[in-house]
């Protein structure tokens, strides 16, 4: 077994015990393997361990990997999530290649992704990225603006709003992590009440360093890179 496969087993059991500890149902959290900067061989190792959902941050790198797997391993049926910041001049390749986008933070991006989504594909599954920590992270929309953006997205036929995503400030202590995640969880609750017709079922939160707190706060999708693939080398 490769070390990547062992890591996936390890993370999967960590997810199960975190769920059990707070009395949540088994399998109520999906594992998204964040493969940015990692070679296709690493993704293949993970896929052979049964992993199907992968997250990428850089448009060109992601599009290249998607094309490679569509060509060489169509049987794996990988599902690709775009989780990086989106510039408006890069929306087209995102709309044409990915199944999910986690990082919608303004109307212009939502509108462009909708207009550029090929109608032969299913609607793009999208999340609104919220800046819950206010200061540190500059990406994500302010909480008060989420409702207006959700309203717009719900009117766009080629996008399906599934929920919220955040990347809280990187803090080591569990209570602070939990507080930030609960803030997103409560916002999602209010959003679901406001838009009961939308089936908002996704809270994308939790990474290698704060996964347990995210799960306790109600995460349904954890985005794990380092704990699966090892540290990233951005100089390659
Ligand atoms: C890189 C990245 C991750 C994975 O982070 P790790 O700490 O390596 O698990 C998760 N989410 C986003 C948005 C990222 O950019």
For residue range 3-62, what is the model confidence (pLDDT) as tens digits? Answer: 999 999 999 999 999 999 999 999 999 999 999 999 999 999 999 999 999 999 999 999
Q: How many CA atoms lie within 13 A of 12 on its CB side?
A: 11
Q: What CATH number should be reported for the domain holding residue 38? A: 3.20.20.10
Neighbours of 1 (CB within 10 A): 10
- Ligand 1: distance of its center to the CA of 54 in Å? 11
How far apart (Å, rounded) are the C-alpha atoms in residues 231 and 152? 38
Ligand 1 lining (C-beta closer than 6 Å): 34, 36, 57, 83, 167, 207-209, 223-227
Neighbours of 201 (CB within 10 A): 11
Q: Is residue 97 part of a domain?
A: yes
Look up the domain containing 118 and give its range.
3-228
Total structural domains in the chain?
1
- Ligand 1: distance of its center to the CA of 205 in Å? 10
- Ligand 1: distance of its center to the CA of 224 in Å? 6
pLDDT 10s digit of each residue in the chain, 236 long? Answer: 689 999 999 999 999 999 999 999 999 999 999 999 999 999 999 999 999 999 999 999 999 999 999 999 999 999 999 999 999 999 999 999 999 999 999 999 999 999 999 999 999 999 999 998 765 556 899 999 999 999 999 999 999 999 999 999 888 899 999 999 999 999 999 999 999 999 999 999 999 999 999 999 999 999 999 999 999 988 76
Q: Is residue 234 part of a domain?
A: no
Q: Is residue 119 part of a domain?
A: yes
């Amino acid at each position: 077994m490769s070390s990547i496969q062992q890591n996936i087993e390890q993370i999967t059991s960590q997810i199960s015990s975190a769920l059990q500890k707070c009395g949540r149902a088994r399998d109520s959290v999906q594992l998204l393997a964040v493969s940015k900067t990692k070679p296709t061989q690493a993704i293949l190792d993970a896929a052979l361990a049964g992993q199907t959902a992968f997250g990428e941050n850089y448009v060109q790198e992601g599009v290249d990997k998607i094309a490679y797997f569509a060509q060489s391993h169509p049987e794996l049926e990988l599902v690709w999530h775009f989780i990086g910041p989106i510039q408006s001049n890069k929306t087209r390749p995102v709309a044409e290649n990915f199944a999910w986008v986690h990082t919608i933070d303004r109307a212009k991006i939502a509108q462009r992704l909708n207009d550029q989504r090929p109608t032969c594909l299913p609607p793009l599954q999208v999340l609104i990225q919220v800046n819950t920590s206010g200061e540190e992270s500059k990406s994500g929309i302010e909480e008060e603006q989420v409702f207006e953006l959700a309203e717009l997205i719900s009117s766009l036929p080629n996008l399906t709003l599934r929920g919220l995503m955040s990347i809280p400030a990187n803090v080591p202590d569990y209570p602070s992590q939990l507080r930030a995640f609960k803030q997103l969880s409560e916002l999602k609750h209010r959003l679901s009440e406001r838009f009961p017709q939308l089936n908002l079922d996704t809270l994308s939160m939790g990474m290698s360093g704060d996964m347990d707190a995210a799960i306790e706060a109600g995460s349904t999708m954890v985005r794990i890179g380092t704990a699966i693939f090892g540290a990233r080398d951005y100089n390659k």
